């Protein structure tokens, strides 16, 4: 572990894409296993922040540490320890892949050459598929599944190598209710097993009840803390003019009202 002892430590990090500063002076710390939710309006730099943590982008100033490593300089080490489900994933359809093959890509890509699949890899892949309620689809063709089912397979692929840290980018978008239930159960199980999950989402529901910390981003960190501290109208209204709150079954629900154009 690093001298900071944190799972994630970001200090005054800034990122440029082209000639535009997309993230400016970002600082936050994830000190213990937790579920961290990142929210912010369109174009606020949420996916950019994930890419910074994965070492896919380099800050032009500041410091980033993930599991004690510099993700840009030690990206292969970080990728071995981290699972990542991007917003849109390209799985090639030129060679029709079966679901089992897609899930096995997770552990396979983390190995050095020559890459070979072990019995443990197959067991891990099947367990990950089962956690998403997809164990009966091992031999199905990936491209024949529905969008929600494909998303569940890609999450299983990220989980198959038993990562120390999981990054999810808008994985709830467009999921049917069954897929949402499966994903919520998985997130609960990860929390119980003291795994850290960083999840970017467009709306707070349905994950907010599981979140330990919420980071509100708009090019800078606007707020970071426990949901009860962060999700106040005075903190969020400047970012979300359409924000509204509802009472539902005795709990207050914040609807950010920032839909994709």
Each residue's pLDDT, cut to its tens digit, for the chain (261 residues) gives: 344 578 999 999 999 999 899 999 999 999 999 999 998 888 889 999 999 999 999 999 999 999 999 999 998 888 889 999 887 766 665 678 899 999 998 888 777 677 788 888 899 999 999 988 888 999 999 988 888 888 889 989 998 888 889 999 988 877 888 888 888 888 998 888 888 999 998 777 778 889 999 998 889 998 899 988 887 656 565 665 555 555 566 555 565 655 443
| Residues whose CB falls within 8 Å of the CB of residue 136, separated by 6 or more in sequence, listed in order | none
| Residues whose CB falls within 8 Å of the CB of residue 240, separated by 6 or more in sequence, listed in order | 41, 256, 257, 258
User: 137: which DSSP letter?
Assistant: G
Q: Could you check whether the bond before residue 121 is cis, i.e. omega within 30 degrees of 0?
A: no
With 0-12 CB in 10 A as exposed, 13-18 as middle and 19+ as buried, what is 73? exposed
Q: SS3 of 168, please?
A: strand
With 0-12 CB in 10 A as exposed, 13-18 as middle and 19+ as buried, what is 54? buried
For 52, other C-beta atoms within 10 Å of its C-beta total 25
For 224, other C-beta atoms within 10 Å of its C-beta total 19
Domains detected in the chain: 8-255 (3.40.50.300)
Helices marked H in 110-251: 119-131, 147-159, 177-192, 227-230, 233-236
């Amino acid at each position: 572990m690093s001298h900071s002892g944190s799972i994630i430590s970001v200090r005054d990090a800034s990122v440029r894409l082209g000639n535009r500063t997309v993230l400016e002076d970002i600082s936050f710390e994830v000190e213990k296993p937790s579920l961290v939710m990142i929210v912010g309006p369109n174009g606020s730099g949420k996916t950019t922040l994930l890419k910074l943590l994965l070492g896919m982008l380099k800050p032009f100033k500041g410091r980033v540490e993930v599991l004690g490593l510099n993700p840009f300089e030690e990206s292969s080490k970080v990728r071995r320890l981290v699972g990542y489900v991007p917003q849109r994933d390209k799985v090639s359809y030129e060679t029709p892949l079966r679901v089992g093959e897609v899930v096995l890509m997770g552990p396979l890509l983390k190995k050095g050459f020559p890459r070979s699949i072990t019995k443990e890899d197959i067991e891990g892949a099947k367990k990950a598929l089962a956690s998403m309620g997809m164990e009966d689809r091992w031999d199905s063709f990936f491209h024949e599944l529905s969008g929600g089912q494909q998303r569940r397979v890609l999450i299983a692929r990220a989980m198959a190598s038993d990562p120390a840290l999981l990054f999810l980018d808008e994985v709830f978008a467009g999921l049917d209710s069954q897929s949402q239930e499966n994903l919520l159960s998985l997130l609960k199980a990860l929390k119980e097993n003291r795994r850290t999950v960083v999840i970017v989402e467009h709306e707070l529901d349905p994950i907010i009840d599981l979140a330990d910390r919420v980071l509100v981003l708009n090019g800078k960190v606007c707020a970071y803390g426990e949901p009860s501290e962060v999700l106040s109208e005075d903190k969020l209204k400047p970012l979300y003019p359409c924000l509204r709150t509802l009472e539902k079954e005795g709990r207050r629900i914040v609807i950010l009202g920032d839909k994709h154009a």
